[in-house]
Structure formats: C-alpha cells, structure tokens
Chain A
Amino acid sequence: GNSVTQMEGPVTLSEEAFLTINCTYTATGYPSLFWYVQYPGEGLQLLLKATKADDKGSNKGFEATYRKETTSFHLEKGSVQVSDSAVYFCALTPYSSASKIIFGSGTRLSIRP
C-alpha cells in the first residue's frame, strides 16, 4: 500500500540552526510529494511540492528533493527562525489515485530564540 513515514518529534532547535526532517514513502507508480505546515492556531497549508523524481520543491527557505532511489523527501532549511515553529507533515498523492492525500504523522518543531 501507500504510506509515509516521517521523523518523530518533537524537534527543538536554536534560532539559525540547520534543520532536517526526514521523510520516506512507500508507493506504487510515481506519486507526487508534499510538505504541509500547520502553524499554531492556523489551518494546514502547502509548504512545497515535487511531482517527479529529482524535482526540488522550495519555499520560504525550505527545500526538499524527490529521491526515487531512496524513496525519500527530506525537508531542510539552512537557518531556522522562531517563526518556523509549527507542525510539519510529509504527504503524497498516489499515482494511481490522485484524489486523496496520504499524510505522515507530523513532526512538531520548536525554535528557541
């Protein structure tokens, strides 16, 4: 079946630290991959996406590369800010059924000033 496994949290970092949140997936075919973010008290919003192998999604200083050989889509940011504190969800839409999103369990990130 289709599934997403991501790094368990919570993750606590100091401001300006380097961030990596690991994500691996299992899927048949060629899924599209996403990172969604949920800031405190706000709704879920798309952070970045990649629709085919070797694509790099980027937004707000965050990046993730679609690695088919390792079935991974790790989220990285070079220098985190307090405002990045949120819950991050790795997700996919299966190639065979692009109608629904399958989410990972979420990683809570807290940034200390």
Chain B
Amino acid sequence: GAGVSQSPSNKVTEKGKDVELRCDPISGHTALYWYRQSLGQGLEFLIYFQGNSAPDKSGLPSDRFSAERTGGSVSTLTIQRTQQEDSAVYLCASSLEQGVEQYFGPGTRLTVT
C-alpha cells in the first residue's frame, strides 16, 4: 500500500519568508510525527499528534514553528519568518499507535537562502 508522502520534496526560500510543508500519513495511522534532520543537530523530534489528543509540541525549536493536523489525517508544518538555520530535511512519520514502529516519508529538503 501507499507509504507516507511529503510535499514538496525540495523547497528553496528566501530568509524571512513563510513556508508550509505537507505530510500525508499512511491511511488508518492515528499517530503522526515531525522530525528534522540537519548536519549540526542530527535527527530531532519536533511535534507529535495522536488522535484527538493535544499534540506534544515539546520539540519545536521556537514559536516560529507550528503544525496542525486536519481531520486526523494530513498535517502541515509551518515555519514563519524562516532563518538560515532552519535549512534541513523535514521528515514526517506515522504509526498505528504510540510506541510501535514509525514509518517515515521521504522528507522535504528546505533550503533558506
């Protein structure tokens, strides 16, 4: 079946602009996660959604970052007033429930110039 999909695959933006990154999880997966993979910081957890519960935002690096999940499916990660240090690959993952295997999408490579 279809895996986790993310769009766009690549995004180049100017410093100070806002960007939106999209994630389509595997159908039926109730949990959705965002991670960031960068050269300096490795793989970092950003935010987690589970069903109708309040999201775990403990990994968001600043208030310029936000995410929403509409209808328990598609999620959008928004970065406002982008900075060069936001350049990274943003990975989305989904799973059936907490603690079991997470399936990762191919990522969105964000470059802030």
- Chain A interface residues (CB < 8 Å from chain B): 32, 42-46, 49, 89, 93, 97-106
Contact = CB atoms under 8 A, between A and B. Distances in A.
Contact of B33 (A42, A46, A100, A105): A100
B112 to A, nearest CB: 22
Contact of A98 (B42, B93, B99, B104): B99
B25 interface: no
Interface of B: 31, 33, 35, 42-45, 48, 50, 56, 58-59, 91, 93, 98-99, 101-107
Given A99-B50, A100-B45, A100-B48, A49 B99 contact: no
Contacts, number: 47
Given A98-B98, A99-B56, A100-B33, A89 B43 contact: yes
B43 A100 contact: no
Contacts of B107: 43
B58 to A, nearest CB: 8
Kindly name the residue among A42, A43, A46, A93 whose own CB sees the greatest number of chain B CB atoms within 10 A: A43
Given A43-B107, A99-B50, A105 B99 contact: no
A103 B42 contact: yes
A101 B44 CA distance: 8
A44 B99 contact: no
B33 A49 contact: no
Nearest to A99: B48
B29 to A, nearest CB: 13
A98 to B, nearest CB: 3
Contacts of A104: 42
